[in-house]
Each structure stands twice: as structure tokens, then as C-alpha cells.
């Protein structure tokens, strides 16, 4: 709408310069009409914005963050969330004396479930070394 307003202004200046005052008056009237239309449209826009306020939800924020970061938005169920939170404790109960190894494996799994990993790379690469009975097989399960 503002672009339409520039044409009569420029033409009006040209008409005055050429001393065509009748044409200049017509263009001035056209300019005033466009200014009125613009103000009415602006008022309507302001009224619509005030009436139709949209609430930003958690889903909206997650969607925008996902779009900007490239990390997919996944809904993790409450049950699975509890399992992930307790995984460290359960594994430490089964694999005794390997807290550091358990913590690193659990972090990799949690990162994967949260969607915070590069899809072109593996979840994690681990080498389990040790004597018989220290929990290598149990931890990899």
C-alpha cells in the first residue's frame, strides 16, 4: 500500500514542475485518498493483532528450537523417561565397581534418546577391557 502512495507523490512533483496544476490537484487528491486507505488498513491491522493474541506453548518453542538446531523433537514417554533416569542406578547395581564406565554408557544412551546426536555417527564407541567377571558383557547388554 505504501508503494502505491509513492507514485502519486512523484507524479505530483512532476506536474507542479511542469506547471500542470489541474493534474497536480488530481494527484494530490489521489495521494490523500491513499493515505486514508493506509490509515484505515493500519487501524484494522492493529485491532486484529490486539484481538487475536496467540499464546506461545511448549510445543511451539520445541518446534522452533528443533528447526533452528536441526535436532528432532521427540516425545519421550513418562515411562521411558523414568527408565532413562534410573538406568544409572540399575546398571551400577548389576555391574559393581565400574561406575565411570556405566556413567559414560548411560550418558551416550540418554543423549541418543534426547535426539542430541549426529545422525551420521554412531551413538557411542566403547572398548570394554578387563578380566573375567568385571561386567563387560552385562554392561554392553
DSSP code string of 23-62: HHHHHHHHHHHHHHHHHHHHHHHHHHHHHSPPPPPHHHHH
73 part of a folded domain: no
Which residue blocks in 1-141 are alpha helix, DSSP H? 2-17, 21-51, 58-69, 78-94, 99-114, 136-140
Question: Residue 24 sits in which domain range?
Answer: 2-51
Q: Give me the number of domains the chain comprises.
A: 2
Same domain, 88 and 136: yes
Give the pTM: 0.42
pLDDT at 118 over 60: yes
61 part of a folded domain: no
pLDDT score at 71 = 63
63 part of a folded domain: no
Mean pLDDT in residue range 17-40? 81
84 part of a folded domain: yes
Predicted confidence band of residue 70 (pLDDT cuts 50, 70, 90):
low
Q: Of the given ranges (2-6, 26-30, 49-53, 106-110), which has the lowest mean pLDDT? A: 2-6
pLDDT at 100 over 80: yes
Coil, helix or strand at residue 19? coil
58 part of a folded domain: no
Task: Please tell me the distance from the alpha carbon of residue 114 to that of residue 85, in angstroms, as a whole number.
Answer: 12
Same domain, 91 and 135: yes
66 part of a folded domain: no
pLDDT at 42 over 80: yes
Predicted confidence band of residue 90 (pLDDT cuts 50, 70, 90):
confident
71 part of a folded domain: no
Amino acid at each position: 500500500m505504501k508503494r502505491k502512495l509513492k507514485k502519486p507523490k512523484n507524479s505530483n512533483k512532476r506536474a507542479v514542475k511542469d506547471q500542470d496544476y489541474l493534474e497536480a490537484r488530481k494527484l494530490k487528491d489521489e495521494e490523500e485518498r491513499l493515505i486514508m486507505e493506509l490509515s484505515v488498513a493500519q487501524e484494522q491491522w492493529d485491532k486484529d493483532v490486539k484481538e487475536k493474541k496467540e499464546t506461545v506453548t511448549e510445543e511451539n518453542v520445541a518446534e522452533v528450537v528443533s528447526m533452528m538446531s536441526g535436532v528432532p523433537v521427540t516425545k519421550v514417554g513418562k515411562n521411558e523417561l523414568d527408565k532413562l533416569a534410573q538406568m544409572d542406578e540399575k546398571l551400577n547395581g548389576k555391574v559393581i565397581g565400574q561406575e565411570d564406565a556405566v556413567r559414560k554408557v548411560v550418558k551416550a544412551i540418554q543423549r541418543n534418546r534426547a535426539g542430541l546426536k549426529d545422525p551420521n555417527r554412531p551413538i557411542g564407541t566403547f572398548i570394554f577391557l578387563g578380566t573375567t567377571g568385571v561386567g563387560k558383557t552385562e554392561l554392553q547388554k
